[in-house]
Every structure is written in C-alpha cells, then in structure tokens.
C-alpha cells in the first residue's frame, strides 16, 4: 500500500474529495497557496479545472491544422504527380492537370490526416499509453473513475514540504489524505 | 434500481393543473441518479456474468447469418460474381444497392455523435455511443459489397495507390476511386472517434471489473487513463475537433457515394440534386435504424432512465424532417423528368411508375412518403410500438429507394435493343441476409463487452456535475 514506505521515494500527497465543487475550490486554493506541480483527477471533465492546476492551452488546434494542411497538400500532390508527371495520358487534348476531379480525394486526405493528428497528438501530449502511474498505488484511486475527486501535490514542487502539504490538504476538508509512493 | 420506483418529476407536476402535460419537458436522464448510480448501472450491463435470454437468441440468429455470409463469400470466391443476378445491362444490382443502403444507415451515428454535439443537443449523450457503434458495423457490412463486387477481391489492394511493379496508378478522376478514399477515411475516422470516446469508460471498466483477465484487457485498451484534469482538457478539445472534422466528412461521404451515380450519364442517375438527396436519405435511414435497435435494447437492458421518451421522440422528429426532404426529392425527380423535355429522362420516370418494377416504386411511396407522416402525431412519436413500426417501414423504404435508383434505371437506358431485366438470385439474398447477420453479430458483441451508453458523458449530464452555478466563466 505504500503509506509506510520511505518518504524519499515519494511521488506526492493526494487528497480525496466527494464533489466536483470541492475539488475545484481545493485546486484553486492550492494554486493560490503557490503550488505549481500538481494534478487533479475526476470521473468527467470539469470546466476550468485545468487552469487551476496550471495549464493554459492544449496545443491541439495548431497540431490538427498542421495535420490537415499536410493531408490536403499530399492528397493533391499524389493526384497531380500521378496524372501529370508519372503517367500522363493525353485524352482528346484535355488538360492533364484536371484539378477539380482531385478535390474529393484532397478533401478526404485532409480530414484523415487531421483526425490522425488529433487522436495521436492528444495521446502523445497526454503521455498515453502509460499503464503504470504512481497514483494507481492509492488504494481508493479506482473511485476516481466513478464518483470521487482527487488532488495530488507532487513531491517535485519547489514548495513541497511533507508536513506543510499534509496540513494544507487536511485544511481543505477532504475525505482523506494519503501519501503516494513511486 | 430503487430510483426507478420513485415517480419521475414530470409525472408529479401536472397535478398543479396549470401546465398542460404536453408542454412539460421530458428529462434526458430520469431524476434521482448520482455519479455512482449512473456508473454502476451502465457498467453492470457489461460486467455481469449472465446476459438476458433474448441476447442469446439474438446472438444465435446473428451467428446463423454470419454462417450464411461465410458460405456465400466462399461460393463467390470459388465461382465468381456470376452467381449474382447482375448481367448486361444491369451491372449494379444488390451489391451496390446494399452498399449504399448500409453506408446510409451508418450516417446517423456520425450525425448524432458529431453534428448534434456541435449543435449542443444534450439529448444526444445517451445514444451517441450506440449510434457510433452502429455506424462502424454498418460501414463494415457496406465495405464487403464493393470489395467483393470487384470480382477478384484478392486484388483489391490495387485500389490503393502504392508503388507497384506495373508502374500504374489508380484512376483518381473516377468517382469510384473517390469512393474508396471517402469510405476508408470514414471508417477510419469513425473508429478513432468511437475509440477516443471509449477511453475514459474503459478506465471505469478496468477499475470496476472483478476478474483479472477483464481488468488486464480493459486496462490495456484504456491506455492507462487516470482522469487527470490536464488530460481531460486536451481530451475535450480533441473530441470537439474530431466532431468538427467528422461533420464535413459525413456529408462528403454520401455526396461522393451519390457521385457514383450522378457523374454517370444514365437517365435517373445524372442529376445535380443527388448529393443533398442522398445525404438526407442517409440520415433518414440511419435514424430509423437507431430506433430499430434502441427500442428493443432499451427494453432488454432496462435503460429507460437514460434513453427516455425524449430521445425517441426527437429521433422521430428527425425522421419526419429528413423523410420530407426525401419525399420532396422524389417529387423533384418527377418534375425534372417532365421539365427537362428530354425523352430519355421522361421515359425513365414513366418506366419507374408503369414499367415492370412499378410495384417497387409504389411500395417506396408508401414506405417513405406515407409512413413517416405518422410522425406528425405526438401519439405515434411517443409510443415505442408506433415508432418501431414506422422505423421498419423506413428501413424497407430506403432499401426500395436504392432498388428504384439502381437496377430500375439501368435496366432500360437509351437503346431499346440493350434493355433487359434484373432478377436477384439466392446468393444475392445470401449476401444481404449474411451482411445483416454480421451487423447484428458485431452489435451483440458490442453490447456484451463495451458500455453502450457513454458513462462519463452521462455523469456530466447530472445536476451535481455543475461546479459554477452562479458565475459562469466564458
């Protein structure tokens, strides 16, 4: 379980709450208290919580736009290269670069690569897949996917001091506070 | 389960005698649910050991269908597409007809999950997962047809542009090639969208499952999801972006499917209004199929709290609206045939009404013209039996529509010397029944192993999920 583990090998201290509003105010209190390295866990997305734990932008829009542009250009390039450069066929003197006929494929490639960028970019930026994570050591953490809400303050936080973090978290009236071992 | 014994709020309120019942909104989740009860009730369907008897009956019937499909494909690979009823002049018969039918059915799933999300239609939440699964399985069933219709399916990889020793490219100017790109992109993006939606729920199942095997499998597919606020932030952004990408995609797919016909010169196909006509028909067919599946599933798994009458009624309304667009298109086909002054166009329409396949056209008008009109009446929209019957009419009607468009247009084109008749064979029916078997087989597996309602989205629907009741930050 890890509560009795050596404290030097610690990931952080976690507090459990029973409502999204409590987690929200706890995270805001932690931010106001000057903690920077923390994370909150909830069974569903809570609006504004990411700002409380110190995250501004997702970086997703630029990524997806980039994926879409690359997809569109490569889709069009493929059709153009095949019909103009690689295997030109003169059919009744019609133009080789018959671009309107390539719009559907260009469009589909745009969507496909943008969607790949969205999904794989989201997973990569989130650091998933990650089958092991220290918070899974917390006995009650399986409730984070049901109806409980958690706030962890990490040991690498410059302000991290075990006793003061414990005191701080307990003052927020959580259901319980637990050490998280690595 | 105790929550269901309480009287829902909308049944108490009419006692005040002030608000007529029809003005009282039906809730999207029955009152009395908590995060825990929503989680437990939906995940229990998957995690329990025994499935209802009806599930086994359905699964057994679907397995028979899959065997029919396997036998038909086996025969097809041994003998060739000659076992089907296609001939000259009707080169596209059941194969393309069923392809279009299935792919149209799939479109409702994307519409519900993407377009209704962007339009902030909250009632979509409890049916989107189910509808997306339906999309995926309908596209799988659809994909079989063109793949086998090529005649030598073991060369199907020639459809994709890859460096080859023949130094040849696919014909990028052909609508059939556009179709390959559209359908494969659609299948891929639908799968990604569905899977991304599933990740948090797979984590819930990982944490709830008792058996070690189930824990490991759900754990692997949940990718170690832990519900971090930072992850949720990116996740929601991704989900919205995917919805934004899927919306034009779903419109493009049936547009391109309609190009298969509209770009050709056959009378009855060569029309500029085919893309909107086909897209409306796809949504119409898809909502009918969602109703066909949701009404029994809701009953079988006791999901009346989550799939309320409001969902069913709204789907009935969408069916009516798109049904009217479809019916308008039939009227326009007739009008264009008359107004074009073109002999072949006129003959095409007269042949539909009076020719050898007139019965198909008459049944089409009954199924797609008359039956959905019942949806004007609240009594039918709020009755599961009424909705189910209308949905079955629509399912049949949309199949007939494709029959009227494809074989009926082909069998008598420009030259009377090249006229012929189309007769389907037992192998055509084998493919059709088999693809239905495959569709239901996958669907029954899905409801057994994956949550058919998005658990985390249902949690956000509950009133206690609101953190800022007073000051809403933009």
For B292-311, give the secondary structure using H, E and C: HHHHHHHHHCCCCCCCCHHH
Q: How far is CA B376 from CA A107, B26, B113, B254, B403, in A?
A: 38, 18, 25, 27, 27
Separation of alpha carbons A156 and A38, rounded Å: 9
- Give, as one character, the DSSP assignment of residue B372: G
- Which pLDDT score is estimated for A161? 82
Chain B CB contacts of A128 below 8 Å: 223-225, 231
The predicted complex's ipTM stands at: 0.89
For residues B285 and B105, the answer to whether their CB atoms sit within 8 Å is yes
pLDDT tens string for chain B (474 positions)? Answer: 444 455 555 555 444 556 666 666 666 677 777 888 888 888 888 888 788 888 899 999 999 999 999 999 999 999 999 899 888 888 898 999 999 999 999 888 888 888 888 887 777 888 888 888 999 999 999 999 999 999 899 999 998 998 888 888 999 999 999 999 999 999 999 999 999 999 999 999 988 888 888 889 998 999 989 888 889 999 989 998 999 999 999 999 999 999 999 998 888 888 888 999 999 999 899 889 989 988 988 888 888 888 888 888 888 999 999 999 999 999 999 999 899 888 999 999 999 999 899 999 999 999 999 999 999 998 888 888 999 999 999 999 999 999 999 999 899 988 889 899 999 999 999 999 999 999 999 999 998 899 888 888 888 888 777 765 444 443
Rounded distance between C-alpha atoms, residue A179 and residue B389, angstroms: 59
- Tallying the residues shown for chain B, one arrives at 474
Q: How far apart are CA B107 and CA B289, in angstroms?
A: 10
Contact A77, A109 (CB under 8 A): no
Residues A122 and B235: beta-carbon distance below 8 Å = yes
What is the C-alpha separation between B336 and B329, in angstroms, rounded? 10
Q: What count of residues does chain A have?
A: 182
**Cβ-nearest to A41 among B40, B228, B233:** B228
Beta-carbon separation of B167 and A87 below 8 A: yes
For the entire predicted model, the pTM comes to 0.88
- Contact residues, chain B, for A80 at CB < 8 Å: none
- A92-119 pLDDT, tens per residue? 988 999 999 999 999 999 999 999 999 9
Using the beta-carbon criterion (under 8 Å), do B229 and A112 form an inter-chain contact? Answer: no
Tokens of B139: 């596209």
| Cβ within 8 Å, pair A48-B237 | no
A5 min Cα distance to partner chain B (Å): 23
The Cα B314–Cα B190 span in angstroms is 23
Tokens of A9: 């090998």
| Two structure tokens written together for B246 | 């899927």
Angstrom distance (rounded) from CA A136 to CA B381: 47
Answer left, alpha or beta for residue A48, where phi above 0 means left and psi between -120 and 50 means alpha: left
Per-residue pLDDT of chain A (182 residues; tens, 9 = 90+): 445 444 457 888 888 988 888 888 888 888 888 888 888 899 988 888 888 887 788 888 899 999 999 999 999 999 999 999 988 988 898 899 999 999 999 999 999 999 999 999 999 998 888 888 888 888 888 888 888 899 888 888 888 888 888 888 888 888 888 888 87
> B447: closest CA among B4, B33, B48?
B48
Q: Which of B195, B230, B473 sits opposite A39 (nearest CB)?
A: B230
Chain B residues touching residue A78 (CB < 8 angstroms): 161, 172
Cβ–Cβ < 8 Å for B120, B67: no
């Amino acid at each position: 379980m890890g509560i009795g583990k050596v404290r030097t090998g610690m990931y952080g201290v976690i507090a459990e709450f029973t409502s999204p509003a409590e987690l929200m105010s706890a995270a805001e209190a932690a931010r106001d208290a000057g903690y920077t390295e923390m994370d909150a866990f909830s069974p569903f997305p809570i609006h504004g919580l990411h700002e409380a734990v110190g995250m501004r932008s997702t970086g997703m829009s630029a990524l997806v736009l980039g994926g879409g542009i690359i997809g569109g250009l490569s889709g069009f390039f493929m059709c153009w290269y095949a019909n103009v450069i690689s295997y030109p066929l003169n059919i009744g003197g019609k133009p080789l670069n018959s671009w309107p006929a390539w719009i559907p494929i260009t469009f589909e490639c745009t969507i496909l690569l943008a969607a790949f960028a969205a999904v794989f970019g989201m997973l990569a930026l989130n650091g998933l897949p990650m089958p092991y994570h220290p918070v899974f050591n917390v006995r009650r953490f399986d409730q984070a996917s049901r109806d409980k809400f958690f706030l962890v303050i990490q040991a690498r936080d410059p302000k991290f001091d075990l006793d003061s973090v414990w005191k701080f978290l307990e003052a927020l009236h959580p259901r319980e506070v637990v050490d998280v071992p690595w | 389960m105790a929550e269901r014994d309480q009287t829902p709020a909308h049944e108490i309120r009419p006692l005040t005698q002030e608000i007529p019942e029809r003005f009282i909104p039906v809730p999207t989740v029955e009152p009395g649910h908590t995060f825990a009860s929503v989680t437990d009730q939906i995940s229990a369907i998957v995690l329990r050991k025994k499935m209802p008897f009806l599930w086994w009956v359905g699964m057994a019937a679907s397995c028979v269908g899959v065997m029919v499909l396997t036998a038909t494909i086996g025969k097809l690979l041994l003998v060739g597409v000659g076992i089907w009823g296609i001939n000259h002049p009707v080169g596209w018969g059941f194969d393309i007809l069923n392809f279009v039918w299935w792919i149209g059915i799939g479109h409702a799933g994307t519409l519900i999950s993407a377009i209704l999300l962007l339009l902030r239609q909250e009632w979509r939440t409890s049916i989107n997962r189910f509808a997306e699964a339906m999309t995926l399985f309908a596209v799988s069933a659809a994909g079989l047809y063109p793949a086998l219709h090529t005649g030598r399916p073991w060369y199907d990889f020639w459809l994709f542009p890859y460096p080859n020793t023949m130094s040849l490219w696919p014909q990028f100017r052909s609508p059939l090639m556009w179709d390959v790109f559209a359908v494969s992109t659609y299948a891929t993006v639908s799968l990604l969208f569905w899977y991304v939606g599933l990740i948090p729920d797979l984590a819930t199942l990982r944490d709830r499952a008792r058996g070690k095997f189930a824990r490991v499998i759900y754990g692997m597919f949940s990718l170690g999801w832990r519900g971090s606020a930072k992850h949720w932030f990116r996740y929601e952004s991704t989900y919205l972006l995917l919805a934004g990408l899927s919306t034009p995609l779903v419109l493009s797919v049936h547009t391109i499917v309609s190009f298969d016909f509209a770009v050709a010169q056959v009378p009855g196909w060569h029309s500029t209004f085919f893309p909107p006509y086909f897209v409306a028909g796809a949504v119409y067919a898809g909502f009918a199929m969602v109703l066909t599946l949701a009404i029994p599933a809701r009953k079988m798994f006791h999901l009346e709290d989550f799939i309320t009458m409001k969902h069913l009624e709204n789907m009935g309304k969408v069916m009516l609206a798109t049904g009217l667009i479809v019916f308008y298109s039939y009227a326009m086909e007739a009008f264009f045939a008359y107004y074009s002054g073109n002999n072949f166009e006129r003959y095409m329409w007269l042949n539909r009404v009076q020719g050898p396949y007139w019965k198909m056209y008459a049944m089409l008008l009954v199924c797609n013209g008359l039956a959905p009109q019942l949806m004007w009446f609240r009594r039918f929209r709020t009755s599961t039996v009424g909705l189910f019957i209308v949905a079955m009419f629509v399912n049949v009607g949309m199949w007939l529509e494709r029959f009227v468009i494809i074989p009926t247009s082909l069998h008598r084109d420009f030259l009377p010397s090249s006229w012929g008749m189309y007769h389907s064979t037992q192998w055509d029916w084998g493919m059709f029944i088999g693809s239905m078997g495959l569709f239901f087989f996958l669907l029954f597996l899905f409801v057994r192993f994956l949550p058919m309602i998005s658990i985390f989205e249902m949690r956000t629907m509950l009133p206690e999920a609101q953190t800022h009741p007073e000051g809403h930050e933009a």
